[in-house]
Amino acid sequence: MSGFSAEWLALREGHDLGARNPIVLDAVAGLFKSHNAINVVDLACGAGSTVRALSSHLPARQRWDLVDNDQRLLTLACGGKSTGDVRLNAVPLDLSGNFERVLDDTKDVITMSALLDLVSENWLDRLTRHAASQALPVYAALTYDGRIDISPSDPLDEAITSAVNAHQLTDKGFGPALGPSAAVAAISRFEALGYSVVQGNSDWVIGAADQEIQLELLAGWATVASEIETVPRRDIDHWLSRRKNEVGARASTMRVGHVDFFATPMATR
């Protein structure tokens, strides 16, 4: 279940690709370097960004089961360009339900991007227990961790960020979301199940010339902050106006915090 438009996913993909942590990517590549072929299941695949980011780090022969509840995104994901012997299989599925059935014993690794901060504690428990029962490694990229830094600073930034992070905890289709605590929660659960975890930051670093994504982010943050109702709507509107002016003057830069990790069981299949 992605819940994101194709347009937004296309806008963010360049920043996603640039942000992915190279040490974590190297750990994924290292585990499978002796394999001739690999079977991957990608949860909440969206338009296929994980395939494009990861496929060059994996054995040449690949089969990807791309799982999402949005048929339009699945069509985009499976129609995207890929190099080498890469087979892409669309799996229409609402991950808020019985997702375990797509994690069968023919898979070599579970992947996901920008998903874990949307899921509930119960959903995460189900994922980690099932992965451990199959001795499956898990690569989870671009999990939002609550850090937003905008320059130049504004007196209302902290209140807006707090409101955004409070909204991240609301139900995103899986029950009350883990939000900014998701990466820490997932890593601790995998470690408790005997996994070894390589982790690292994968922050978006957004420059002054990246005006379109800045405006989209600012508008989105203003909207969710108003829904939380901890900051008066008038103050949010004034903050948004000031921020838009900074973007228009090419004076605004951003850093948005994310975490990548690769969890491997003691014994892999």
Which structure tokens are listed for 101?
């059935």
* Strand-pair partners of 138: 110, 263
Whether residue 143 has pLDDT greater than 60: yes
Instruction: Give per-residue pLDDT as tens, 38-77.
Output: 999 999 999 999 999 999 999 999 999 999 999 999 999 9
Name the pLDDT band for 2 (thresholds 50, 70, 90): very low
Domain membership of residue 269 (yes or no) is no
Do residues 24 and 260 make contact, with C-beta atoms less than 8 angstroms apart? yes
pLDDT of residue 186: 98
Rounded CA separation 173/120 (Å): 9
pLDDT of residue 1: 38
pLDDT mean over 172-185: 97
Instruction: State pTM to two decimals.
Output: 0.95
pLDDT of residue 122: 97
Instruction: Give per-residue pLDDT as tens, 226-250.
Output: 999 999 999 999 999 999 999 999 9
Q: 197: closest CA among 145, 146, 265, 259?
A: 265
Whether residue 190 has pLDDT greater than 70: yes
Whether residue 266 has pLDDT greater than 90: no
Rounded CA separation 160/5 (Å): 24
pLDDT mean over 8-34: 95
Domain membership of residue 196 (yes or no) is yes
Domain membership of residue 30 (yes or no) is yes
Domain membership of residue 136 (yes or no) is yes
Domain membership of residue 178 (yes or no) is yes
Domain membership of residue 17 (yes or no) is yes
Q: What CATH number corresponds to the domain at position 182?
A: 3.40.50.150
Q: Scanning the structure block, which residue is given the tokens 């900074």?
A: 246
Domain membership of residue 1 (yes or no) is no
Give me Rg for the CA atoms of the chain.
19
Domain holding 116, by residue range, is 6-264
Number of structural domains found in the chain = 1
Which structure tokens are listed for 252?
């605004």
pLDDT mean over 126-144: 97
